[in-house]
């Protein structure tokens, strides 16, 4: 653990530690409640903006940086429009702090192979800690972290007791079991490709799987197994020309074929059949149906924090879909800004990954893309709020160093020396750290 903390940039260590801090440890400034992760982001966001503006460590402002900033600015503006200056600035500013701040911490302080690998080790340690904290909850059925802190702080975070498969859904230090599972599952592919030794890679992914399971939530489990499937796909199709295009065509044909022979759409089958609770899957389909009705009724500025139209029997106003919540609350422009930022960054990351001088850089770009797809699909059925909202944008920033082609070239000699040193006698598969002329090194 000491090595994990020592090697990772201190702002990354601070933010990841704050992700594990329960919401009961919030600070209060007047009527404003600041959870630990927002306190950390308040400390870090101005230095992060300064580093980006100065262009340190090869940083340069890219189109996706501007789009992420535009999304944050739109978030503040649209909520001030709906809620007024004071309440709108407080709510929209909190969201903007989490989105832009979480993104920038990873973007400006993870700048090369060494800091990226150290940050991955740090995340594995955080996931292992989250799983260990959650294990007694799942087995004993006592949410002891939130129960103890409620007595100490007086802050009552709503907790439900739900059992699945004979175990209790664990919260750990998070606000919801789904958040625990999603946090743990999100980097499975990144960790797999980041670890040079096969035995160690399996061990770490096993830790991630066990920690994800503690939440007993179908969406995080789907996120994890999607990444496992992507890793298998990479192994099976490596060396096949045009494998991305061929895979997309195969998926499209499979979807069309299933649509013709099934009475329900493939999406409905996944939503209601590949879940631990089929009613939850069906309910989320209804949320999407009525949520889109609200989107088209309020396309530009959304609803703000106002209630949304839905059938009388849908008592809860919660919407379990991150992409849908953004569009319903802040309008279609907010959705387009965020999607444009992610797509622009993804294109830059993958282009730079193909030209990268080291195999590990190419693998990092591929792994991040795999995890991004899985996490984006989860966001269709899970709402990212509080810690998970900030973490999602931190995850997006993890690939920023790959997108800066200038930094990749500048760091080529030092990164190659680092890779050679690691490969010398310690890595099981030297080819993973070598610099082959083309393609990814075989695992």
| pLDDT value of position 151 | 92
**Mean pLDDT of the residues in the chain:** 85
| pLDDT value of position 425 | 35
Question: Which sign does the torsion angle of CA 73, 75, 76, 78 carry?
Answer: positive
Q: Is the distance from CB of 192 to CB of 232 less than 8 angstroms?
A: no
Q: What is the pLDDT of residues 14-46, one digit of tens each?
A: 999 999 999 999 998 877 889 999 999 999 999
CA dihedral 383, 388, 391, 393 (to 10 degrees): 20
Q: Is the distance from CB of 161 to CB of 141 less than 8 angstroms?
A: yes
Percentage of the chain surpassing pLDDT 70? 84
Provide CB contacts within 8 A for 425, sequence distance 6+.
Answer: none
The token pair at 363 is 């693998």
Question: Which sign does the torsion angle of CA 116, 122, 128, 133 carry?
Answer: negative
| pLDDT value of position 250 | 80
Residue 321 CB coordination number (10 Å): 21
Residue 314: band (very low, low, confident or very high) from pLDDT cuts 50, 70, 90: confident
**Residue 428 DSSP label:** S
CA dihedral 373, 375, 378, 384 (to 10 degrees): -140
Backbone angles phi, psi at 154, to 5 degrees: 85, -5
Residue 159: band (very low, low, confident or very high) from pLDDT cuts 50, 70, 90: confident
Mean per-residue pLDDT for 7-20? 95
Taking CA atoms, 79 is separated from 67, 74, 227, 353, in Å, by: 18, 8, 35, 38
Q: Is the distance from CB of 396 to CB of 211 less than 8 angstroms?
A: no
Distance CA 148, CA 237 (A): 50
Burial class (CB in 10 A: 0-12, 13-18, 19+), 164: middle
Backbone angles phi, psi at 238, to 5 degrees: -60, 130
Collapsing DSSP to helix, strand or coil, 163 comes out as: strand
**Residue whose entry in the numeric block shows the structure tokens 């709108």:** 88
The token pair at 49 is 């903006």
**Residue 263 DSSP label:** S
Collapsing DSSP to helix, strand or coil, 29 comes out as: strand
| pLDDT value of position 414 | 41
Q: What is the pLDDT of residues 317-375, one digit of tens each?
A: 888 889 999 999 999 999 999 999 999 999 999 998 888 888 888 999 999 999 999 99
| pLDDT value of position 266 | 54
Residue 278: band (very low, low, confident or very high) from pLDDT cuts 50, 70, 90: low
Query: Is the pLDDT confidence value at 281 over 80?
Result: no
Collapsing DSSP to helix, strand or coil, 32 comes out as: strand
| pLDDT value of position 47 | 96
| pLDDT value of position 20 | 97
- Choice among 195-204, 205-214, 314-323, 336-345 with the minimum mean pLDDT: 314-323
- Choice among 131-140, 197-206, 232-241, 375-384 with the minimum mean pLDDT: 232-241
Secondary structure element (H or E) that encloses residue 28, with its range: strand 27-29
Beta bridge partners of 163: 168
How many residues does this entry show for the chain? 443
Distance CA 109, CA 141 (A): 39
| pLDDT value of position 346 | 95
- Choice among 103-117, 161-175, 257-271 with the minimum mean pLDDT: 257-271
Distance CA 325, CA 379 (A): 10
More confident position, 232 or 422:
232
| Cα-only R_g, the chain | 22
- Look up the pTM and report it: 0.88
């Amino acid at each position: 653990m000491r090595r994990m903390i020592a090697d990772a940039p201190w702002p990354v260590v601070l933010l990841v530690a704050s992700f594990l801090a329960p919401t009961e440890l919030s600070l209060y400034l007047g009527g404003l409640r600041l959870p630990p992760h927002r306190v950390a982001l308040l400390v870090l966001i101005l230095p992060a903006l300064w580093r980006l503006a100065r262009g340190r460590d090869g940083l340069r402002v890219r189109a996706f940086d501007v789009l992420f900033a535009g999304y944050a600015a739109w978030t503040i503006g649209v909520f001030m429009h709906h809620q007024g200056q004071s309440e709108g600035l407080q709510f929209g500013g909190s969201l903007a702090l989490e989105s832009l701040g979480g993104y920038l911490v990873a973007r400006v302080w993870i700048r090369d192979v060494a800091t990226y690998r150290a940050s991955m080790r740090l995340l594995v340690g955080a996931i292992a800690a989250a799983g260990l904290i959650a294990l007694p909850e799942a087995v004993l059925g006592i949410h002891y972290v939130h129960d103890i802190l409620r007595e100490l702080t007086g802050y009552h975070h709503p907790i439900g007791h739900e059992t699945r498969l004979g175990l209790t859904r664990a919260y750990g230090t998070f606000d919801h079991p789904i958040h625990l599972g999603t946090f743990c599952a999100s980097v499975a592919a990144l960790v797999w490709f980041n670890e040079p030794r096969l035995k160690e890679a399996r061990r770490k992914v096993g830790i991630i799987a066990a920690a994800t399971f503690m939440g007993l939530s179908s969406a995080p489990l789907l996120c994890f197994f999607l990444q496992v499937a992507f890793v298998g796909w990479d192994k099976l199709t490596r060396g096949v020309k045009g494998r991305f295009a061929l895979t997309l065509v195969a998926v499209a044909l499979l979807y069309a074929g299933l649509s013709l022979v099934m009475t329900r759409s493939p999406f409905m089958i996944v939503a209601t059949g590949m879940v631990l609770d089929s009613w939850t899957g069906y309910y989320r389909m209804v949320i999407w149906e009525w949520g889109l009705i609200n989107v088209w009724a309020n396309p530009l500025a959304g609803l703000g924090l106002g209630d949304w139209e839905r059938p009388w029997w849908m008592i809860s106003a919660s919407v379990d879909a991150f992409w849908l919540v953004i569009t319903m609350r802040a309008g279609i422009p907010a959705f387009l800004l965020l999607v444009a930022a992610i797509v622009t960054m993804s294109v830059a990351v993958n282009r730079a990954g193909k030209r990268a001088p080291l195999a590990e850089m190419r693998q990092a770009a591929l792994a991040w893309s795999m995890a991004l797809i899985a996490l984006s699909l989860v966001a269709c059925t899970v709402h990212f709020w509080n810690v998970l909202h900030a973490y999602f944008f931190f995850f997006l920033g993890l690939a920023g160093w790959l997108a800066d082609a200038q930094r990749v070239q500048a760091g080529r000699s030092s990164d190659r020396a680092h890779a050679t040193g690691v490969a010398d006698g310690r890595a099981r598969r030297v080819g993973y750290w070598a610099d082959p002329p083309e393609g990814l090194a075989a695992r």
